[in-house]
Amino acid sequence: MNQLWERFQRALRGDDVTPPDLEATLNRLRAQTPAPVFGLLGKTQSGKTSIIRYLTGAEDAAIGSGFRPCTRTARMYQFPTADAPLLSFLDTRGMDEPGYDPTDDLDRFYRSSHLVIVTVKVTDLAQGTVRAALKHIRSATPSRPVVLAITCLHEAMPRQAHPQPYPFTPLAQHPQQPFTAWPDAVRLPSELLRCIDEQRRLFAGLFDACVPIDFTRPEDGFAEPYYGGECLKQTLLQLLPAAYRQTLLQFHEARQTLHEVHLRHALPVILSYTALAGTAGAVPIPLADIVILMGIQARMASQLAQIYGQALTPERWREITAAVGVGLAARTALRQLAKFIPGVGSVVGAAAAAASTYALGRALCVYFETIYAGHIPSAEQLRKVYQEQFRIAAKQWQDRHHASPPQHPKTD
């Protein structure tokens, strides 16, 4: 027990002396946790960062500083944290940069992506380098879904508002269908139609869905800054393999209910560690996951404290565990007992580990938010939040993992 407590304290402090066996286990869990990996392909300033901003809710500065090199010229952005990512984005250098040969990057880089998003500006028809790279990707793995995102629509219809309602959904669902078959085609600007048709012709046979989008800044004056964003998200959900689709769907559904600033930043961290805890909890061997779950929850607590600008001292941690510790201990015991039941233990263990981690994260948010406002939360308040969030998370986890999502023959 002394060794367990020492490991827990080191993880809580964020020390670099994490036991190597714990870190090795975390690395294995990260590889097993279903986090979608999107490969991004396109010229510089073609809208790749705008798509990341829309899917994650992160700001440009956070995205820019979050990219990390993974090859000599390629880089990766893991959201919300590299320690436990919910979404990952792989990006090469701009295809239009002089002297850049992407062949080596593409061979190594897109091997791990589950879906490729190709961004092309609607009025930029000089796409030879992008098309050549996409042919290389497509020939290497024909079954990997590719979404052609045609961006910057306003450049083809200057001083005009976006067509409402969004008219391009049939193009995403039936990418080869001609515009003349659309009832709404007559009300669209002819220059916009011509440019989109030409981009589809240039990339014919190289994509599975085409989604015209126009992600603009509020100061640009458009009524809908993320025009076509919902269609893009639904297209990604449709094309992703089932396990990765559920992760993305859960993240976006949760974000839609958030309004408080701190919680919007905290929830992705909670969800990422919840997924990691669920993967650890599925190990069918009793007692095997206790230490790793302690490390996961301690790291989550440390990152949440940073988001709220609070210090997670041992005294504060004792206050929190005193309030929710009985629930944590009881559910840990039940989870370990369930693992003695063949065929049931893994399911129960995963659900309980994920739900308890999520509930603890939400209780920590209440604690830090109350401290931030200058008050001290009561033990009863924290206990109530923990129990309520545990019930919600357990039900959602079970519903998600017992549901039968729609199948996609190319990827599932």
Dump pLDDT digits (tens) for 255-284. 666 556 677 788 889 988 888 888 877 655
Q: CB–CB of 270/244 below 8 Å?
A: no
Q: In Å, what is the CA distance from 50 to each residue of 147, 152, 226, 401?
A: 15, 11, 9, 31
Shared domain for 287 and 385, answered yes or no, is yes
* Average pLDDT of the chain, as a whole number: 77
128: which residues sit within 8 A by CB, 6+ positions away?
none
Residues 138 and 174 grouped into a single domain = yes
Q: What is the pLDDT of residues 369-397, one digit of tens each?
A: 888 777 888 888 888 888 888 888 877 76
What residues make up the domain containing 205?
A: 37-239
pLDDT at 203 over 80: yes
Residue 265: inside a domain: yes
Pairing state between β 214-215 and 226-227: antiparallel
Q: Are residues 292 and 179 in the same domain?
A: no
CA nearest neighbour of 155 among 202, 195, 209: 195
Query: Are 205 and 63 in the same domain?
Result: yes
Q: What is the CATH number of the domain that holds 64?
A: 3.40.50.300
Residues 25 and 160 in one domain: no
CA 302 vs CA 136, 313, 364: distances in Å: 43, 10, 10
Q: Are residues 16 and 96 in the same domain?
A: no
Counted residue by residue, the chain has a size of 412
- 151, β-bridge pairs: 121
Beta carbons within 10 angstroms of residue 95's beta carbon: 21
pTM for the structure as a whole? 0.72
Residue 18: per-residue pLDDT:
46
Give domain status of residue 248, yes or no.
Answer: no
Same domain, residue pair 125 and 169: yes
Express each pLDDT in 343-352 by its tens digit. Answer: 444 555 677 7
| Number of domains the chain is built from | 2
Domain limit, last residue, from 239, 271, 289: 239
